[in-house]
Amino acid sequence: MSVRSTLRSVACLLALFLSSPAAFGSFPIRSREIGGTTHVVLYDVIRYYGLKSHVSGKRITLYGAETEIIFTIDSRAARINGFLFNLAHAPTLHDNEALISERDLSLSIDPILRPQTLETGNADIRRIVIDPGHGGKDSGARSRQKTNEKTINMLIARDLQWMLEDLGYEAYLTRDRDTYISLAERQRRCRQWGGDLFISIHCNSAKDKSAHGVETFVVAPEGTPKTGDYKPSTRTPGNEYDKFNTRLAYEVHRNVITATGARDRGVKRARFYVLKKASCPSILVESGFLSNADEESRLGNSRYRHDIAEAISNGIVMYHWAMAGQ
């Protein structure tokens, strides 16, 4: 380990201590530099958060009072409370020690284990900007039955809008009719309205007609790859909200999976423009595959779309509670 990377490790260690409330132990978290990525010793993480653990082959399960996290060595797919969560880097074994990346710990795991340590001021959530994907000349994905994605996105978005307004939020739509607006304009409107959260609604499509399920995207943190890729991302404005994006995605995703029973394709990281240029915590929900016959017919059902909208709304409320320390 170079002197420079040692210093960086010490800085990361201090940052963890500084943000730690008294309830957490004063155990140090050691770090290791592997292949240019800072990793932390999982055993130290377990002690630091006061968790219990169980090891079975390549699987390491961490247990807390309300949380269960399953890591698998050499796999980026983790499970948080039973829901699939794609890490930036696969946990690894080095000198007989299990390690996870420092970025995954600080930007993904920590916000879920203790959201109360996220910066203050983010519990003031009043304006929620809902972004029905596509519109006008841009129809988005098209199903075999010729259902346009833009139409399904709008129907879910409208349901979500009135549900959020019913709960006392101000809910805005980036488009309220079937018109084309650019991705930049969607983010400009969010900024103009002073959006506290940005929720983009989409439906998926794939060549493989059997592909189905729900996935929720956040912008990939700086220096980490998007899901399914290894090329690190450069910094974008949306990275300012990395920790909040993670927590928001987790809450919305688990609610949507539970409510719909859809296949859990996980929380994923991407470099979508609307997420990169975000001016507040932002996620993009892929509500299902229009290319899959079964999911297409579900998405065509108003009750199913209502369930999705209600689950997103519940996820937003749970995120709000978490930010308020409840």
Residue 152 or 190: which CB sits closer to Zn ion?
152
List the one residue out of 296, 265, 3 whose CA is nearest residue 152.
Answer: 296
Kindly indicate which of the ranges 24-32, 35-43, 194-202, 235-243 contains the residues binding Zn ion, using the contact rule CB under 5 A: 194-202
Which of 127, 202, 276, 320 lies at the binding interface for Zn ion (CB under 5 A)?
A: 202
Q: Give me the least distance between CB of 45 and Zn ion, in Å please.
A: 36
Catalogue the long-range contacts made by 62-69 (C-beta closer than 8 Å, 24 or more residues apart).
Answer: 64/113, 67/112, 67/113, 69/109, 69/112
Kindly indicate which of the ranges 80-88, 135-143, 291-299, 318-326 contains the residues binding Zn ion, using the contact rule CB under 5 A: 135-143
Q: Give me the least distance between CB of 149 and Zn ion, in Å please.
A: 5
Q: Are 274 and 187 in contact (CB under 8 A)?
A: yes
Token couple for 137: 């000349």
Q: Taking CB under 5 A as the rule, which mask of x and - marks residues 79-118 in contact with Zn ion? A: ----------------------------------------
CA distance 3 to 63: 35
Residue 149 or 242: which CB sits closer to Zn ion?
149
List the one residue out of 91, 282, 315 whose CA is nearest residue 196.
Answer: 282
Question: DSSP E strands: which ranges in 106-240?
Answer: 127-132, 170-173, 197-204, 214-219
Residue 186 or 202: which CB sits closer to Zn ion?
202
List the one residue out of 316, 301, 173 whose CA is nearest residue 252.
Answer: 316
Q: Give me the least distance between CB of 143 and Zn ion, in Å please.
A: 13
Which of 91, 140, 238, 315 lies at the binding interface for Zn ion (CB under 5 A)?
A: 140
Q: What residue number has its CB nearest to Zn ion?
A: 202
Which of 133, 135, 238, 288 lies at the binding interface for Zn ion (CB under 5 A)?
A: 133
* Interacting residue ranges for Zn ion, rule: CB under 5 A: 133, 140, 202
